[in-house]
Amino acid sequence: MHHFAYKNGVLHAEDVPLPQLAAQVGTPFYCYSSATLTRHYQVFRSSFGSADVSVHYAVKANCNAAVLRTLASLGSGFDVVSGGELRLALQAGAKPSQIVFSGVGKTAEELRLAVDLGIGQVNVESESELNTLSAIAASAGRKIRIALRVNPDVDAGTHAKITTGRKEDKFGINWTLAPALYRKAKALPGLDPRAIAVHIGSQITNLKPFEDAFLRVRDLALMLRNDGIDIDHLDLGGGLGVPYDFATDPPPPPADYGAMVQRVFGNLGCHLSFEPGRLIVGNAGILVAKVVVLKVGTAKTFAVLDAGMNDLVRPAMYDAHHDIIPVREPSAGTSRTDYDVVGPVCESSDRFASNRALPVLKEGDLVAFLTAGAYGAAMSSTYNARPLIPEVLVDGGKWAVVRRRPSFEEMTALDQLPSWLG
């Protein structure tokens, strides 16, 4: 469920009409709904009933400061994958103890920052990282809780570029090698290895891969306890999918996911933590763009928008689907035309949809890409010297620009000429 709906023939974000935002902010822009962020966080958190759980929003999905502050106000912790994201979580109001640091390539400087701050947990992904973290923590006279991120060799059945739990993927430590590394971690100074972490990918629409991976985690926890390693915390990652195409069957609801988790781990006596990102913010955001040109060719009709792949790269990168709807509600019986919906970027891959049946469009019409809150603005760029686009947060009838469009001078401010070209 999301809070973008037609009212009196006009698409609204909660109680704010989108044409009003377009007129004042300019297109293209991202728009986020506070009500949807809140609802999705609360629905996911409540899906585990009274179980001992914590939720750590995955900052990489959408790192806008206002989005993070909204989630922090609801009690969310944060999962970060860089020193920059760690600082963003702190700025949003998170306590260091609420932060989990994941990622396969943490630098010594990032690990030192995590140790100095005393964050809640570091998810270690290699023996090399284990050694580096131990040396940093010991030299600082600190002890930091760690989990080894295990790779359970489970295919999540999602897009190859967002699958992370197979043995050929770069993430995690093969689960069969984990016991020896846990024994090593227990003997190393500065480390408190009482947790196991797992994350098998993103946009997973079937519960079976989760259950297969979680059963391996359960077996590993019992094995480690028999080895004298007191596992009392399981970090089960994120990855539960969201509906991108509302005409198809939706992914399993969080309640079904929660029931499966409790079935697998209910009697293990462990604290469980989760790292949802897309699930929380995906349907809480839309991208609004304007039709600039309608180009009729011999084989195709192109709707050329003022948004490009630099603003929303998912279709170009993943062949991802986003529902596209007009901001002005079409009347009943409005004729439809097949369009290739494209952007202005000088790439053939700058294509949002091919042969998409849409109500007849006119130049100047506004359209909205649904389910654009996750990995939209977060992955955007200034390719073709196009500025990053504004982000707007709506709360009921209120709205605010939470990231403004930079000027050309701001966009190029970091460039500098060498002395011989000055």
Residue 51 tokens, joined: 């179980």
Same domain flag for 244 and 368: no
Beta-bridge mates of residue 191: 144
Residue 304 in this model has a pLDDT that exceeds 60 = yes
The CATH number of the domain holding residue 274 is: 3.20.20.10
Same domain flag for 59 and 167: yes
Residue 147 tokens, joined: 């989990």
The last residue of one of the domains, among 255, 281, 307, is 281
Same domain flag for 239 and 98: yes
- % of the chain residues with pLDDT over 90: 84
Q: Please check whether residue 418 lies inside any domain of the structure.
A: no
Range of the domain at 394: 4-31+282-411
- Arithmetic mean of pLDDT over the chain: 93
| Whole-number pLDDT of residue 135 | 98
Same domain flag for 268 and 289: no
Is position 270 annotated as part of the catalytic site? Answer: no
Residue 168: half-sphere exposure toward Cβ, Cα within 13 Å: 3
Q: Please check whether residue 27 lies inside any domain of the structure.
A: yes
CA dist 345 → 348, 350, 352, 377, 383 (Å): 8, 6, 12, 16, 8
Three-state secondary structure readout of the chain: CCCEEEECCEEEECCEEHHHHHHHHCCCEEEEEHHHHHHHHHHHHHCCCCCCEEEEEEHHHCCCHHHHHHHHHCCCEEEECCHHHHHHHHHCCCCHHHEEECCCCCCHHHHHHHHHHCCCEEEECCHHHHHHHHHHHHHCCCCEEEEEEEECCCCCCCCHHHECCCCCCCCCEECCCHHHHHHHHHHCCCEEEEEEECCCECCECCHHHHHHHHHHHHHHHHHHHHCCCCCCEEECCCCECCCCCCCCCCCCCHHHHHHHHHHHHCCCCCEEEECCCHHHHHHHEEEEEEEEEEEECCCCEEEEECCCCCCCCHHHHHCCCCCEEECECCCCCCCEEEEEEECCCCCCCCEEEEEEEEECCCCCCEEEECCCCCCCHHHCCCHHHCCCCCEEEEECCEEEEEECCCCHHHHCCCCCCCHHHC
The CATH number of the domain holding residue 355 is: 2.40.37.10
Same domain flag for 208 and 260: yes
The last residue of one of the domains, among 281, 311, 346, is 281
- % of the chain residues with pLDDT over 70: 95
> For 259-287, how does the pLDDT look when each residue is reduced to its tens digit (9 = 90+)?
999 999 988 999 999 999 999 999 999 99
The count of structural domains within the chain is 2
Q: Please check whether residue 93 lies inside any domain of the structure.
A: yes
Q: Please check whether residue 416 lies inside any domain of the structure.
A: no
The last residue of one of the domains, among 281, 300, 333, is 281
> For 149-193, how does the pLDDT look when each residue is reduced to its tens digit (9 = 90+)?
998 877 545 444 434 434 455 566 887 889 999 999 999 999 999
Same domain flag for 8 and 43: no
Same domain flag for 227 and 302: no
Q: Please check whether residue 419 lies inside any domain of the structure.
A: no
> For 201-257, how does the pLDDT look when each residue is reduced to its tens digit (9 = 90+)?
878 888 998 999 999 999 999 999 999 999 999 999 998 989 887 667 678 899 999
Residue 243 tokens, joined: 């509906």
CA-based torsion, 293, 298, 300, 301: positive or negative = positive
Same domain flag for 212 and 270: yes
> For 341-369, how does the pLDDT look when each residue is reduced to its tens digit (9 = 90+)?
999 999 999 999 999 999 999 999 999 99
Lowest mean pLDDT among 6-20, 45-59, 162-176, 235-249: 162-176
